[in-house]
Structure 1
Amino acid sequence: MRVVVTDRPFPQPNPYHDLLETTDALYDDALTGPEDEIVYPEVTTEEATVEACRGADVIVTFIAPITGRVMDAAGDVSLIVRQGAGYDNIDVTAATERGIPVSNAPDYGSKDVASHGLAMAMAASHDIVRADRQLRSNEGWGSSRVIEPLHSGTYGIVGLGRIGRRAVPMARGLGMDVIAYDPVLDDDIFEALDVEPVSFDDLLDRSDCVALHAPLTDVTHHMFSAEEFSKMKSSAILVNVARGPLVDEDALVEAVESGEIRAAALDVFESEPPTDSPVLECDGITVSPHHAGSSPAAKERKISIVRDEIERALRGEALHNVVNQEVYQFRG
């Protein structure tokens, strides 16, 4: 048995060091032996990941690209698991075609991410970050500054999944109306949340704050670019706590600097870390370092979810968090 942990969001303390021994003890069975191992190559490129995953039975990944080449090099893989909710670094189609289940850690930090989105929206609407910097350098004071609060406005959610649903009561707590766009959801989800379903263009036209909670796919890549910003209110704010490539950053900077939209707030970026991103030079864009789901409680939930799924894979038991259920049509 060879478990390859390509890279870890929390390398210290190591959350997996006792995984094989714990699995044996839990089931009072000698599942593993001295030839079994868990390795931690800490790789992030495809070439390095291909080499690191040779002979892997289970692949545990964070940001390393798990492509068809990686899977072919590994051979007979029983599980690929992402240490997080999103899994866009894994070629799920290639995994399905090879009969490999892909799991994630759903809902480990949905409340944290939703509340971070609201916090960033508030910071942007009240211009808090820029005001802080300028006050410390003796520029601007009190009534010389103007804020434009979001309360009593419309909060438009793009992607009404676990995180988007958590954001609904939070936005309502600010006295905001909530509308949402999610073309894959049935109407009963909207009805249960008492959220008005709207078209994408309608959401752009009506929202005072547009909050992105959608997954990254071929369809959603750059779903916010120059055309979309031109359809938003000039007083609107864009908040992205989902995936960076949902937003064309060059177009966003142009929209903010030209006044086409009022401001933006990003916790995620097209390339991470965003060392060369144009948003870092734009005062009207509030940023944070992709840490929306980084609370201690969320960290512990993520580790627990991933460990439990790996243990089930090692035991050959039914997996709980498979994102490509159609894989079982290939596996039989």
Structure 2
Amino acid sequence: MTTPRVLIADKLSPAAVEIFRSRGIEADVKTGLAPAELRAIIGGYDGLAVRSATKVTAELLAEAKRLRVVGRAGIGVDNIDVKAATARGVVVMNTPHGNAITTAEHAIALMFALARQIPEASASTKAGKWEKNRFMGTELFGKTLGVIGCGNIGSIVADRAIGLKMKVIAYDPFLSDARALELGVEKVDLPELFARADIITLHTPLTEATRNLIDARAIARMKKGVRIINCARGGLIVEEDLAAALRSGHVAGAALDVFETEPATDNPLFSFENVVCTPHLGASTTEAQENVALQIAEQMSDFLLTGAVANAINMPSVSAEEAPRLAPYMALCRNLGAFAGQLSVARDGGFRKVTIEYEGQAAALNHKPLTAAALSGLLGPLMEGVNMVNAPVAARERGIEVAETVHDRPSEYQTLVRISVTTDRDTRGVAGTLFAGHRPRIVEIKGIPVEADFAHHMLYVTNKDQPGFIGRFGAVLAEAGINIATLHLGRAEKGGDAICLVSVDEPVPESVLAAVRALPLVVQATPLGF
């Protein structure tokens, strides 16, 4: 097996570099590269570790023929073209928990600074003034804090605010009633949060749904004298609208760690005394920088060495504990998908729907990565470079409906996976199991029992069940000098449809396929490869 290589393009802790190397991964540290320099060397690496400085663009990914994973030491992936990475089958992972406490604490610090005018008071005192009456603050005790986005960071902010005896209300479309109760916050909709909150703090990612979330219309719904804090992402607030509200006095103050354009060296909000600004310091503590670097090194190493996927943006997660257990099931699903895909493309040219059923032990597993593996096998005959990352997206783009069914019922086998493919002509399925717990095996084709191992070169033949066919079929292969390694037969009923599945030592030439198809009783003859 080739030793994986990782390029560290932004500054990471030396301890993170040592994690890669101690686990047998070659790690090169080359920071500050220009885009052209990075494009020139990226083709030799399996992994790319970045912070926020390096831009992982579609142009860069086009040169990264070998790249399997991009790891972002931090939460935001704004600097990574996730769509382009997904299309190329590259996993994008981040570290959503590593700097959560640090960012939450910064939001709380900004809230205090804003409420007590600490930056202005500090500057005034250092200038030799003693303006005790000028800096009249406001208590946080008893105030209502509106938290927009109650995930990893927002929930920590809520916990700290409750400790300050504030009332916390939260808006998050993914926040369940049970989780809100556990956190001790009141779950509200966004208009109610705007109307009730004395202080609003943002902890949501920047998406098309959240861009410009705080604009003039939203501010008009807020209490007069509201204070706004943003330690999440620039672009959540329309900065011109906030400036207008500060000038009118409708907004009493704002504290911003992020800006629409960064580095923010010139911004209209800088002119307001009641605006506290910091240069994107949310994750800037020694502990957080160390934590996210170590986490991304561990995550990338696990993926490159074992296939474990943690905190991925664009594919289902597979824990390090799950990965070895799921590996044979993923191989089974991939092979079953490839079997169904090759047959359907050869006969019908495409798919409308695929249904994947899990029974027995397979029903108790994390089936999301299994489905992704099945789709990667299914779409292999249709597109190059398909894998577990881009297969689900490719299926959606092609209008293929994907259905998963988990059966909580006894199975004839310890584990069983069935893939049914619907085309414009009909629906056909193939089922398989794991022999000896690790070896993928076919057990059913189109409802007909057939026991067969997958092989590199196979020939699938459907025929009418009548005497003499096997002899004539074997003779055609023998005359062409093709040796049959294994032969498996099945039929629906006497004299009905029958299946002949053989594994051979080499690919079957087109001339031999034509001879097989010309035999009496043959309905279909398709070469398969796994």
TM over 0.5: yes
What is the rounded CA distance, in whole Å, between the counterparts of 1:103 and 1:95 in structure 2?
11
Task: Determine whether 1:112 maps to 2:106.
Answer: no
Q: Corresponding residue for 2:45? A: 56
Greater strand share, structure number = 2
CA distance in 1, matches of 2:33, 2:139: 44
Aligned to 1:28: none
- Give 1:136 deviation, angstroms: 2.8
Count of aligned pairs between the two proteins? 318
Contact 2:257–2:279 under 8 Å retained in 1: yes
Q: Aligned pair in 2 of structure 1 residues 52, 179: CA closer, same or farther (>3 Å)? A: farther
- Residues in 1 aligned to 2:42 and 2:209: alpha-carbon distance in whole angstroms: 30
Could you say what secondary structure the match of 1:286 adopts?
strand
For the residue of structure 1 that corresponds to 2:140, the secondary structure is coil
Report whether the alignment pairs 1:208 with 2:211: no
Seen in structure 2, the aligned counterparts of structure 1 residues 44 and 174 have a Cα distance that, compared at 3 Å, is: farther
Indicate the RMSD between aligned Cα atoms, in angstroms: 2.2
Mapped contact 2:48–2:67 kept (Cα < 8 A): yes
TM-score normalized by structure 1?
A: 0.87
One-letter amino acid of the structure 2 residue matched with residue 67 of structure 1? T
Tell which has more relative contact order, 1 or 2 (C-alpha 8 A, sep 6+): 1
Amino acid at match of 2:58: G
Larger Rg: 2
Give the C-alpha shift of residue 184 in structure 1.
2.7
> For 2:296, what is the secondary structure of its paired residue?
helix
Please tell me whether the aligned partners of residues 21 and 27 of structure 2 are also in contact (alpha carbons under 8 angstroms): no
Question: Structure 1: which amino acid aligns with 2:299?
Answer: E
Deviations 1:149-175 (A, max 9, x none): 222010000111100111112111221
The answer as to whether partners of 2:117 and 2:135 remain within 8 angstroms in 1 is no
CA shift digits 1:88-130 (9 cap, x unpaired) = 2222233223222111112112122112111101111111111
In the other structure, the counterpart of 1:40 is 30
1:195 pairs, out of 185, 200, 211, with 185
Structure 1 residues 296-324: Cα deviation after superposition (integer angstroms, max 9, x where no partner): 22222112101101211331331222222
State whether residues 43 and 67 of structure 2, in contact with CA within 8 Å, keep that contact through their aligned partners in structure 1. Answer: no
How far, CA to CA, are the matches of 1:239 and 1:203 in structure 2? 14
Q: Secondary structure at the match of 1:155?
A: strand
Rounded to whole Å, the distance in 1 between the matches of 2:283 and 2:27 is: 30
* Structure 1 counterpart SS, 2:259: coil
**Per-residue deviation, 1:326:** 4.9
Cα distance in 2 for residues equivalent to 1:299 and 1:189:
29
Quote how far apart the aligned CAs of 1:293 are: 2.1
| Separation in structure 1 between the aligned mates of residue 174 and residue 81 of structure 2, nearest angstrom | 21
Q: Are the aligned partners of 1:96 and 1:326 in contact in 2 as well (CA < 8 Å)? A: no
Equivalent pair of 2:19/2:294 in contact (CA under 8 Å)? no
Partner of 1:290: 280
Instruction: Give 3-state SS (helix, strand or coil) of 1:81's partner.
Output: strand
Equivalent in 3, 7, 10 of residue 7 of structure 1: 10
Q: Distance in 2 between matches of 1:55 and 1:21?
A: 17
| CA–CA distance in structure 1, aligned partners of residues 258 and 303 of structure 2 | 31
User: Take 1:188 and 1:43, find their aligned partners in 2: how far apart are those partners?
Assistant: 48
Q: Please give the residue correspondences for 1:149-298 in structure 2 after superposition, counting only pairs within 5 Å.
A: 149-298=139-288
One-letter amino acid matched to 2:296:
V
One-letter amino acid of the counterpart of residue 273, structure 1: P
Structure-2-length-normalised TM-score: 0.56
**For the Cα contact (< 8 Å) 1:4–1:52, is it kept in 2?**
no
- 1:89 aligned residue: 79
Per the alignment, residue 22 of structure 1 pairs with 22
Question: Which secondary structure state, in structure 1, belongs to the residue aligned with residue 169 of structure 2?
Answer: strand
Partner of 1:27: none
- 1:253 shift after superposition: 1.9
CA displacement, residues 26-72 of structure 1 (integer Å, 9 cap, x when unaligned): xxxxxx6xxx5524142475x56544533331111212222333222
Q: 1:190 to 1:90 in 2, by over 3 A?
A: same
SS of the residue corresponding to residue 133 of structure 2 reads helix
Change (3 A) 1:20 1:204: closer
What SS class does the counterpart of residue 274 from structure 1 fall into?
coil
- State how far apart, in whole Å, the 1-side matches of 2:18 and 2:135 are: 55
Q: Helix, strand or coil for the counterpart of 2:95? A: coil
CA deviation after TM superposition for structure 1 residue 21, in Å: 3.1
Runs of at least 5 residues in structure 1 that lack an aligned partner in the other structure: 25-31
Structure 2 CA distance, aligned partners of 1:144 and 1:277? 26
Cα displacement (A) at 1:144:
4.3
Question: Within 2, Cα distance between the matches of 1:260 and 1:51?
Answer: 52
Paired AA for residue 7 in structure 1? D
Structure 2: gaps (5+ residues): 318-368, 377-386, 389-530
Matched, 1:300 2:303: no
